[in-house]
Amino acid sequence: MHQLRMFLKFILNGNLCKSKLLRVLILYTELAGYFIACVKHLLLQKKDIKILLVHYPVNQEAPFNFDLSNNLVSIQYAKDSEEKIQQEIDQFSPQLILCSGWGNKFYLSVIKKYRTSAKNVVFIDNQWLGTAKQYLLRFISPFWLRRLFHATWVPGEPQKLYAQKLGFKSNQIFTGLYVADSNLFKPIGELKLRQKGPYPKVMISVARYIKQKDLPTLWNAFIKANANTGHQWQLHCFGFGDLYDQRIENTFIKHHGFVQPDAMRAYLSKSGVYVLPSLFEPWGVAVHEMAMSALPMILSDKIGSASFFLDDQNGCIFEAGNVDMLQQKLEKLMSLNDDQLWQMAAHSFEKGSTLELDDWVNTLNKMIL
């Protein structure tokens, strides 16, 4: 009842209904190109909106160049700037607040301050794993998270279960949080499927060179599989990280380092298969990007977005960390003919096109209503 009274209070005050200009505050952690694409698309679709974005510094392992809109005011978060940021937020006077998780105490203090005058929505991208920490959070959620946030926005079904465990009702849970830049990747898939021709015998992996991504398992499995099938394929890896200097060098493996999304067009148009061997991946937007780019996929069984963008018609799953199983999957795919591979590519594109930027904007509109 307390939560309902607070929600009715800011609705009756007209914060979301009567204002000519909707003011949205986004409290974000590490920015990525796909999220900026979503926000920019929102600004293009809705002229009656203004956004204040507070975010962490850009990760040096993924140094994206962001082209921000004039209607989007951006502030970089720093511990010693919290007082100044709070002043900016107070001047902005948000009506809708989107908060990336609950790990930042300052962000939560903002949420608490505006819980009766704004609609507060928390992003949850973790899966329910049944850990002791999650069970504890489930116990305290009614006295903490559920008092701070009116709704939650999650990527897909694995995260929806977690939100339900935390006490959010079905009408308070929105899916489709992470969406690939359909303006960038969908034209790549469309062009490939229209032109076709000889199928490109190029596998790609877009992942940071960190332990979690388990790239050595991919490299070792690929070398053996490629040798067993006549050295017909290449593997191109895109990314950077602490383990970059430990990369395996091979005639058929190319390491490109970090590449900006726009520059990926040329590589994706000449690629045939996407492989991601992660040991743990709560979601994985790259899977959506590659599906839109019409790439069949081989993914580990620890990748959340596989539940949405992968089935037995456009790829396969292997046990994370199992190099022998991955080798078998690679060899099976490497042995397919061009017609079979193009059929898989078309199905990937179809799966990827089921969620686009317009869907992200439509979901946010539902939160406003």
Tens digit of each residue's pLDDT (9 = 90 or more) over 42-64: 999 988 899 999 999 876 655 55
Same domain? For 82 and 221 the reply is no
Same domain? For 199 and 272 the reply is yes
Question: What's the domain range around 126?
Answer: 2-178+356-368
Same domain? For 151 and 196 the reply is no
Same domain? For 85 and 196 the reply is no
Q: What's the number of domains the chain is made of? A: 2
Residues 6+ apart with CB under 8 A from 1: none
pLDDT of residue 58: 75
Same domain? For 167 and 22 the reply is yes
Same domain? For 362 and 285 the reply is no
Same domain? For 173 and 215 the reply is no
Q: pLDDT at residue 309 above 90?
A: yes
Same domain? For 153 and 165 the reply is yes
**Residue pLDDT, tens place only, 180-198:** 999 999 999 999 999 999 9
pLDDT of residue 2: 46
Label residue 32 by pLDDT band (50, 70, 90): confident
Residues 6+ apart with CB under 8 A from 35: 28, 178
Q: Once rounded to an integer, what is the mean pLDDT over residues 81-88?
A: 96
Same domain? For 135 and 223 the reply is no
Nearest to 278 by CA among 216, 225, 329, 334: 216
Across-strand partners of 317?
A: 299
φ/ψ of residue 253, rounded to 5: -120, 130
**Residue pLDDT, tens place only, 231-284:** 999 999 999 999 999 999 999 999 999 888 888 889 999 999 999 999 999 999
Provide the CATH number for the domain around residue 229: 3.40.50.2000
Q: Once rounded to an integer, what is the mean pLDDT over residues 198-208?
A: 96
Structure token digits, residue 240: 């950077």
Nearest to 178 by CA among 31, 59, 45: 31
pTM: 0.89
Same domain? For 56 and 12 the reply is yes
Report how far apart, in Å, the C-alpha atoms of 81 and of each of 86, 88, 187, 218, 345 are: 9, 11, 41, 42, 48
Residues 6+ apart with CB under 8 A from 219: 235, 247, 248, 250, 253
Residues 6+ apart with CB under 8 A from 212: 278, 279, 280, 281
Same domain? For 33 and 88 the reply is yes
pLDDT over 90, % of the chain = 83
**Residue pLDDT, tens place only, 166-182:** 999 999 999 999 999 99
10 Å CB burial of residue 98 (0-12, 13-18, 19+) is buried
Least confident of 9-13, 37-41, 261-265, 340-344: 9-13
CA angle, 323 as apex, 207 and 248 as ends, to 5°? 55
Same domain? For 105 and 71 the reply is yes
Q: Which residue has the higher pLDDT, 253 or 71?
A: 253
pLDDT of residue 14: 46
